[in-house]
Amino acid sequence: MEQENKMGTMPVNKLLITMSLPMMISMLVQALYNVVDSIFVSRVNENALTAVSLAFPIQTLMISVAGGTCVGINAVLSKALGEKNQERVNKTAGNGVVLMAIGYVIFLLVGLFATRGFYLSQTDDAQIVQYGYDYLSVVCCFSFGMFAQLTFERLLQSTGRTFYIMITQGTGAIINIILDPILIFGLGGAPRLGVRGAAVATVTGQIVAGIIAFVLNAAKNDEIQLQLRELRLRGQIVGQIYKIGVPSMVMQAIGSVMTYGMNLILISFTSTATAVFGVYYKLQSFIFMPVFGMNNGLVPILAYNYGAGKRERFVKALKCAVIYAMAIMFLGILIFQTIPGKLFELFAASDTMLSIGIPALRIISISYIFAGYNIICGTAFQALGNAVYSMIVSIARQLVVLLPAAYLLSLLGNVNYVWWSFPIAEVASLTMTTIFLLRINKNVIRHIGESDREEEEKLSVDMIS
């Protein structure tokens, strides 16, 4: 701990790229295997694709619990590293592991008792319900791999070892992609599991990735000493983790509520519209995942330099990330505006799906340039311990603006009008994010490091005296 971490010394632009690029690559691979899942499932039939699409709210909720906890762990742990407080680093890591184990138990119970009822609340199509139960029950009951993977990957991330995360996520994704066709269609003598095979492939990849992430932490992450005596909950640390993590958790959980509500609105037109929405979310992950990868690389940089009192490095990292994120989003706009039909053909799209899906991609992607800015600014709020700002923006965007707008537009009788709710919501989010950024800059960012400078000035006066 005596030698300063690279997050406080490496040139900022190089540091951001070094920290983020492995995360971006690994998350692109994650996006790839999510898309591959749906591509293979769509070859079963459209109802199978619809069933997997309808599972998205529960999967989002699961990721929100794990991801929100990890955001808190990451920020608290990285700040402790910046302050060179080794005891706090170890205790934060231990508390994080216990919290993630509790999260798994919650979704084990969901998988055992709630999946069929969840599908019945959205549709009465018996085939979709059965496909959905086969898929979602496996994903929930074996989600311990996902919780372990995210936990130990974030411990690596918090100390700047993002290259290893590329290894864990890449390995898990490759296993999933290989197993998908084998288990779905029963290739090479394997049992033909259909939609359940896609779920088994997914959880197998997550379990292997979680094991690798644990091993890499033990072997390579010497800045964190994860000890058995630290595997117990401490109220103060748990409180600090969730002060930052709960707003992030709520933001992602709101996404689950939004998706559930959109599914109900869209399925009132046709189940194909719901399948289109599911395919859209798979495709947009190729655009958003690199930004989220940068987001994950940015959090420890901002938190570390905030803890170390280095305002100039904090501000420069934030500006660079905003520019890169907006560039990625602009590329996404170009892709979705020019070849939406080709993208949907990957999913054996019918003429009806194309007639709904092509306008969907073109309309929703209009808002992407704003989304990149909003995501990165939300990251700054989290790193500074003001994640409640991000939560407020997310609630307003998805529940106060997007869902009501989607419902009102659906009353016009044309499903293609519903997609305009996304640009409307993103403009509202842009406005709120900018207001909060100006406020946090005035109250916090401008004052980073001032206490250190005051201490130095006082020391200089004492020495002169």
**pLDDT (tens digit per residue) in 59-84:** 989 988 998 898 889 888 888 887 88
Percent of the chain past pLDDT 90, that is, above it, reads 55
Q: Quick one: pLDDT at residue 21?
A: 85
Q: How far apart are CA 402 and CA 262, in angstroms?
A: 9
Q: Quick one: pLDDT at residue 456?
A: 47
Does residue 208 surpass a pLDDT of 90?
yes
Q: How far apart are CA 65 and CA 208, in angstroms?
A: 21
Q: How far apart are CA 365 and CA 141, in angstroms?
A: 35
Rounded (5°) CA angle 220-221-226: 125
Does residue 261 surpass a pLDDT of 90?
yes
448 phi-psi bin (left φ>0, alpha ψ -120 to 50, beta other): beta
- CB-count burial class (<10 Å; 0-12, 13-18, 19+) for 462: exposed
Query: Closest Cα partner for 167 from 217, 209, 203, 201?
Result: 209
pTM exceeds 0.85: no
Chain segment 401-429, per-residue pLDDT in tens:
999 999 999 999 999 999 999 999 999 99
Reduced to 3 states (helix: H, G, I; strand: E, B; else coil), residue 3 is coil
> What's the whole-number mean pLDDT along residues 85-96?
88
Give the number of other CB atoms < 10 A from CB of residue 399: 15
Average per-residue pLDDT for the chain: 88
Q: How far apart are CA 111 and CA 115, in angstroms?
A: 6
